[in-house]
Chains A and B, each alone.
Chain A
């Protein structure tokens, strides 16, 4: 129960700051949030949209989380998402004459492998050349975005070439809608399966166990004879694959074709999802649904209350910041010093429990 305190207070504070900004804009926060709630949960279609928006977030949340658990920071889910979307849709368009039962899994697999290889580049650069995966994944994001842009303006452009987009994906590679009359597609089920896989992998397999040990204490992992290189490569491939599935499921399930800038930052939102969900399987699902709801409800808020959807970013940012500062609050609680905001006490704040640093 105690684990819920920080996430819930983080969300409340995020919403409060959002309300503050809405108020400053001269609009009515109560009305805004009412329409947001109505948009996200008030109808069958709204609920379905919430889940549709949550689906890629589950994948990217898993992508960040699986790397994080192994001691790696994958900031590249956005790029992996783009590459996974590209490879998934390519199989979905160009591989013809297959039944759905074969074609769709193949397209999803292509998305997974495409994203996985993109993640693997960062992993390989780390183990081979010692290049920090944090920076290389950030850089690879933009390479991927421009790669997709390159493909849809050139080789993959839909004839006769009036719009920078690919031809539609074949019916046999589309994720079927699971609730008729909505856009809720099978990708959500795939996402839930990946959550199960994430749980089983990390907590019930040897490779997953080794990954967690390396993440928690690389030195101990080394002494225990665990192969750090193999771990890094494997985990980066897996993290990239999860990101790739985010792109593939979004394109095969919702957009049905490839075009530029098709992700509104789902990859970066995955960081918030994993953080808020404490990398736990259930936590990731709940956090994804929350942010999915903010996004789908945000559209309604923009239409009826005139509050720009961008407010949702502010709320998310505040939530991230609050959760990331959890250690500070714990320190304050432990030392029983109230949050005194004078610079000197902040600069000389001493932790009670002195942790051994790794340097």
Chain B
């Protein structure tokens, strides 16, 4: 029994660790999608955030500085994205695809310059698990939730914060209005462009944080293409979580569990097709979009540029 509990605890803790990067990126994507911007470039933004985080920690000597750098770089990427899709009215999908290429190309090239090729990674300051006094002694849950890194706590705290901003404040109402019916929002004096720029920058910031989580909390270094499709799973997380922060938290935990289980099975040498587990996020998302498991309906004007008349 204790063995089982221990196993369960380990598994759930691994689930939370794999879920957090998805959660962070997806929280950012909620803002952008709710304002009407589809960003399939989250993968590239995360990758750049991952490198920026490691570089920041390496040069400035502190993990939190790395996080700050990653967030700032993310904001700048979001600003650029906003400029391209809001002002230049370029196709959001095409720009997103370009961002993924840009992220892969830039990080692979620059990582070699900063850290050299074929050298062992220099030690950098990274996050270590911090036990929350008291709470971490709760059986199972204490270890799973209250014995994680500070970035994990930040990600979890941002869930209710995001919910509050989106659904309980005027700003959140404006964001949602712009995503549903920009013309009406414009008529009542909401600056559609400004909201979309802001949402895009917030999205970039979260993607940067998600990347920094990968390189400063999950692994303690940057490796080429280390996001390995997590940006796309984050996109799936948003849809499966129905553009709601708490829904997204649940979706991230479900998708994270699939991945954690897959690692476990592979490590145990179990002869099961682990690829089926890896397909789950995508299949579930398609099912949700098609309405098989609770219909997922995107914000009405998501993906469309707005032209002020």
Contact = CB atoms under 8 A, between A and B. Distances in A.
A143 B284 CA distance: 11
A310 B105 contact: yes
B222 interface: no
B84 A24 contact: no
A134 B93 contact: yes
B163 interface: no
Contacts of A129: 289-291
13 contacts: A131-B289, A131-B291, A136-B289, A147-B279, A153-B273, A308-B108, A310-B108, A317-B98, A321-B95, A327-B90, A348-B193, A354-B307, A359-B183
Contacts of A271: 94, 97
Contacts of A348: 193, 308
B113 A26 contact: yes
Contacts of A8: none
B309 A354 contact: yes
A132 to B, nearest CB: 7
A15 interface: no
Among A125, A131, A134, A318, the one with the most B-chain Cβ atoms within 10 Å of its Cβ is A131
B286 A131 contact: yes
Interface string B178-221: 00010100000001011001000000000000000000000000
Contact of A313 (B102, B279, B307): B102
B89 A125 contact: no
A350 interface: yes
Interface stretch (B57-65, B125-133, B229-237): B229-237
Interface residues of B, number: 56
A351 interface: yes
Interface in A104-125: 125
A313 B104 contact: yes
Contacts of A310: 104-106, 108-109
A325 interface: yes
- Per DSSP, are chain A's interface residues mostly helix, strand or loop, or mixed? helix
Contacts of A139: 232, 236, 282-283, 285-286
Interface string B239-275: 1000000000000000000000000000000000101
A136 B291 CA distance: 13
Given A125-B290, A271-B97, A316-B101, A325 B88 contact: yes
B136 interface: no
Contacts of A327: 88-90
B97 A75 contact: yes
Contact of B282 (A143, A313, A316, A320): A143
A138 B40 contact: yes
A262 interface: no
A150 B273 contact: yes
A55 B236 CA distance: 31
A25 interface: yes
Given A317-B102, A324-B84, A146 B109 contact: no
B289 A135 contact: yes
Contact of B235 (A25, A138, A150, A312): A138
A268 B231 CA distance: 15
Interface in B77-126: 83-84, 87-91, 93-95, 97-102, 104-106, 108-110, 112-113
Given A134-B38, A268-B97, A357-B304, A311 B290 contact: no
Interface string A139-160: 1111100110110011000000
A320 B94 contact: yes
B87 A349 contact: yes
Given A320-B101, A359-B183, A125 B289 contact: yes
B194 A347 contact: yes
A221 B301 CA distance: 22
B276 interface: yes
The 7 closest A-B pairs by CB, nearest first: A313-B105, A310-B108, A324-B90, A317-B102, A314-B105, A328-B88, A131-B289
Contact of B278 (A75, A146, A153): A146
Contact of B90 (A143, A149, A321): A321
Interface string A159-191: 000000000000000000000000000000000
A176 B232 CA distance: 37
B275 A149 contact: yes
A75 B93 contact: yes
Contact of B279 (A146, A268, A328): A146
Contact of A25 (B110, B181, B197): B110
B279 A143 contact: yes
B142 interface: no
A21 B109 contact: yes
B303 to A, nearest CB: 7
A275 interface: yes
B87 A135 contact: no
Nearest to A319: B98
A140 B236 CA distance: 11
Interface string B128-162: 00000000000000000000000000000000000
A317 B105 contact: yes
